[in-house]
Amino acid sequence: MIRIFYRDGSEIRLAQTGTGFAEIGRDNVLWIDLISPSGEEKRATESFLGIEIQSRAQAEEIESSSRFSEDDKAIYANTNFLSPADDEMLMDPVSFILTDSVITTLREIPLRSIDTLQRKIQALPDQFPDGFTVFVEIMDKRVDLDADIVELISKDVSQFSKRINQQEDINEEFLLDINQLQENAMFVRENVVDKQRLISNIIKSKRCPKNTGLREDLSVILQDIASLINHTNFAFERLEYLQDTVVGLINLEQNRIMKIFTFVSLLLMPATLVASFYGMNVPLPFQARWWAWLAIALLMAFLIVGIWMLFKHKKML
């Protein structure tokens, strides 16, 4: 599907078309939004803009050298938009192509942040004179959403910390939950750093407008990203500390259980020795006496109490 936002006098209108661009003038186009486009739709857009649109494989390329490029016609930029899904993070690739005053976006799924911005563009057309302004607004909204994700992670870290302090459900499953939250924090940090690199390249580009406040706006976004990176690093460090604490508590609990088993074994060992001795099928002292069993039982009890008192005196309990 293709969504084309173009100027009609003082208004910005939306045209949803398959492959026909003839009725829309190039100078009036502000934003071309490609959502899971077909091959025919991509070729029509390439013909209209006079450029080549990247494939999905190029959009998902992870090398930093392939995330940003430019030529004499356009700037090509790729990044990922994060979205929470249950306990995991989904990464949706989005490509940006900036040609003069037109921005082209390529994505596979609907994104709420972009859909909200499109409604804002139609409501406030004067705030969006060109495609670079749209790009800055997309990045600003996206960084705000990333900040919300970081805030959610921080809240989860605080809840985990309270559970540890109250010693609620400190087990292997809880440790796996912390590990999953660490993975989410790493995803967020990688994604934010990727946007930092992308915006820095845009600012350095010769095609970025110099006579507007866009560079200043992008610099402010970079400052916000730097702050997000610091918060993400702090959350990750807290998670590492919580992980070490949980591992330590689990080890202490296991050591306590092993200590109990060891103590019980040592406590019964002398009594077991006496019982084994008198259980042999050979003549033994006092075996003909009626009180022999009572004496043996008392001896075993004395040995158990004696071992227990010895451990308590040595403060080994």
pLDDT value at position 287?
Answer: 65
Pairwise CA distance, residues 28 & 19, whole Å: 17
pLDDT value at position 3?
Answer: 85
Per 3-state DSSP, what percentage of the chain is helix, strand, and coil (rounded to 5)? Answer: 60, 15, 25
Confidence of residue 276 (pLDDT cuts 50, 70, 90): confident
Span 218-237, average pLDDT: 90
pLDDT value at position 165?
Answer: 80
Instruction: Please state the pTM of the whole predicted model.
Output: 0.75
- Identify the CA nearest to 218 among candidates 32, 77, 72, 65: 77
- Identify the CA nearest to 60 among candidates 79, 76, 40, 46: 79
Confidence of residue 59 (pLDDT cuts 50, 70, 90): low
Span 5-16, average pLDDT: 81
Phi and psi, residue 53, nearest 5°: -85, 135
Q: At residue 291, does pLDDT exceed 80?
A: no
Q: At residue 309, does pLDDT exceed 70?
A: yes
**What is the SS3 assignment for 24?**
coil
Span 95-117, average pLDDT: 85
* Ranges 16-30, 246-260, 271-285, most confident: 246-260
- Token readout for 242 is 């919580």
Confidence of residue 22 (pLDDT cuts 50, 70, 90): low
Confidence of residue 33 (pLDDT cuts 50, 70, 90): confident
Q: Among 137-151, 186-200, 302-316, name the one with the lowest average pLDDT.
A: 302-316
pLDDT value at position 63?
Answer: 52
Residue that the structure tokens 């356009």 belong to: 74
Spatial contact of 195 and 225, defined as CB atoms under 8 Å apart: yes
pLDDT value at position 66?
Answer: 61
CA angle 10, 14, 20 (to 5 degrees): 120
Q: At residue 269, does pLDDT exceed 80?
A: no
pLDDT value at position 126?
Answer: 87
What sign for the dihedral angle of Cα 41, 4, 146, 204? positive
Give the amino acid at 216: E
Q: At residue 285, does pLDDT exceed 70?
A: no
Confidence of residue 20 (pLDDT cuts 50, 70, 90): low
Percent of the residues in the chain that have a pLDDT greater than 90, as a whole number: 3
pLDDT value at position 223?
Answer: 92
Pairwise CA distance, residues 258 & 194, whole Å: 48
Confidence of residue 60 (pLDDT cuts 50, 70, 90): low
Q: At residue 281, does pLDDT exceed 80?
A: no
